[in-house]
Structures are given as C-alpha cells and as structure tokens.
Amino acid sequence: MHSPEPVGNPLDPFDNRRFLVEAWRAAGARFDSESRAHMCRDIIKRVIRPGMTEQQVVSLLGPQSEFVTRRGPGGEPLPNRRIYEYSIGSWTLQRMDDAFLYVHIDPSDHVVTAEIYGY
C-alpha cells in the first residue's frame, strides 16, 4: 500500500493528504479516523463530485450502517436527502469535538454535495 502524498495546507488537518482508496480503507479497518481526516478536502475537491451515483460513493468510501438526518434553519429536516456519515475524529483545536465527512445523496441516488461537519 502506498502512503497518500502530502498536499494542500499543512495547517489544515483535513487538507494535507491525497485520497487513496487503499489508505482510506486501511484507516477504517484500523479505526484510524485521523488518517481519514487528512484526506477529506481532497475527497471534496477531487473525488466525490455532484452527480456521482450513490454506488460510486460506496465503492470508494465504503457503506454506512445508518444515515444522518440533518436539520436546516429552524430545526426542520432537510427534505429529499440522505446523508452518509464517515467519522473523521475529534478536532478540538478546530472547535470540532466530533468531525464527520458528510456526503449528501438526493432521491435519485446521486451526490448533491460533500462537506466536513463538526460539532
């Protein structure tokens, strides 16, 4: 397995490695959220693109056992959307106790957007 090459902003913990399927899967098998976190901006910028199918996402990032229900302004659920959630660890210095890579899927099973989400 190759180690992902450094890229992006070394001060941003989500932007300093290129995405490699093998590295993402190996990190998941080791429960190594931090290694996954380092690839997230590359995933958003270059890998998971609007219009991709849900199956393409699953083949790259793996399946999730549950979907997230995210709420918009006023607390209303975002309509017509499933959200795949991939844990990417805790990042207190970035004011994120728990951080996730979210991939939003529309009713036709296509990607709407991907984002890093933390609370």
In a domain, 95, yes or no: yes
Beta carbons of 81 and 105 less than 8 angstroms apart: yes
In a domain, 77, yes or no: yes
Q: Is 87 helix (H, G, I), strand (E, B) or coil?
A: strand
The pTM for the full model equals 0.81
**Portion of the chain with pLDDT greater than 90, in percent:** 45
**Portion of the chain with pLDDT greater than 70, in percent:** 79
In a domain, 26, yes or no: yes
Strand order in the sheet with 67-68: 67-68, 82-87, 99-105, 111-118
Q: How many domains does the chain have?
A: 1
Helix, strand, coil shares of the chain as percentages rounded to 5?
Answer: 30, 25, 45
Beta carbons of 113 and 104 less than 8 angstroms apart: yes
Q: Which residue has the tokens 């190759």?
A: 2
In a domain, 28, yes or no: yes
CATH code of the domain covering residue 93: 3.30.1450.10
**Is residue 11 scored above 80 in pLDDT?**
no
pLDDT in tens, 19-70: 999 999 999 888 888 899 999 999 999 999 999 999 999 999 998 755 676 6
Residue range(s) defining the domain that contains residue 69: 21-118
**Is residue 79 scored above 90 in pLDDT?**
no
